[in-house]
Amino acid sequence: MNWCEACAIAFSILVGNAFAGDSIPVSLTGAKGDAARGRAIVANRQVGPCLLCHSGPFPEERFQGDLAPDLTSVGARYSEGQIRQRIVDSRKVNPQTIMPAYYESEGFARVAPAYRGKTILSAEQIEDVVAYLATLR
């Protein structure tokens, strides 16, 4: 890590988001997530609507998406921090993405009153999904 990256991490920790380049290298909860719970979140369209756009190693799930990359080897392509960043807010990596920010709650238009100020997934759920996706190699 160079001096600029170290300063970026230090600053982002002070303002509440440990973002470094294309990665959030530190767990949002301070602990590792549970991969089994993460798989359940990814596969459940009512909790984490991942399979609306992505496909992956979920033979029991019909009608997987084809709008976004296959998740089969995501753990080989990205570090845990890179996976975390893409789930938290992939606009930081790709401003043109259609992927929603799963851990952002501000700056959105036309949000139903019941969902204003809330994130799609909790910090614990994000860490569970990161733990699971990191196993896909």
Number of domains, the chain: 1
What is the domain-level CATH number for residue 110? 1.10.760.10
pLDDT at 111 (0 to 100): 86
pLDDT of 18 reads 53
- Average pLDDT by stretches of 10, the chain with 137 residues: 45 47 94 97 92 94 93 96 96 92 88 89 97 97
Between CA 69 and CA 9, with CA 79 as vertex, the angle to 5 degrees is 120
Phi, psi of 80 (to 5 degrees): -60, -40
Predicted local confidence at residue 108, as pLDDT: 82
The answer to whether residue 25 is domain-embedded is no
The reply to whether 57 falls in a domain is: yes
Asked whether residue 115 is domain-assigned, the answer is yes
In a domain, 124, yes or no: yes
Residues 84, 66 contacting (CB under 8 angstroms): no
Does some domain include residue 16?
no
**CA neighbor of 69 nearest in space, from 34, 44, 98:** 98
Q: Quote the tokens at residue 67.
A: 């709008």
> How confident is the model at residue 19, as a pLDDT?
52
- Among 3, 10, 39, smallest CA distance to 26 is for 10
**CA distances from residue 120 to 1, 49, 72, 73, 87 in whole angstroms, order as listed:** 32, 10, 23, 24, 10
User: In this structure, is residue 10 part of a structural domain?
Assistant: no
Domain span including residue 110: 32-135
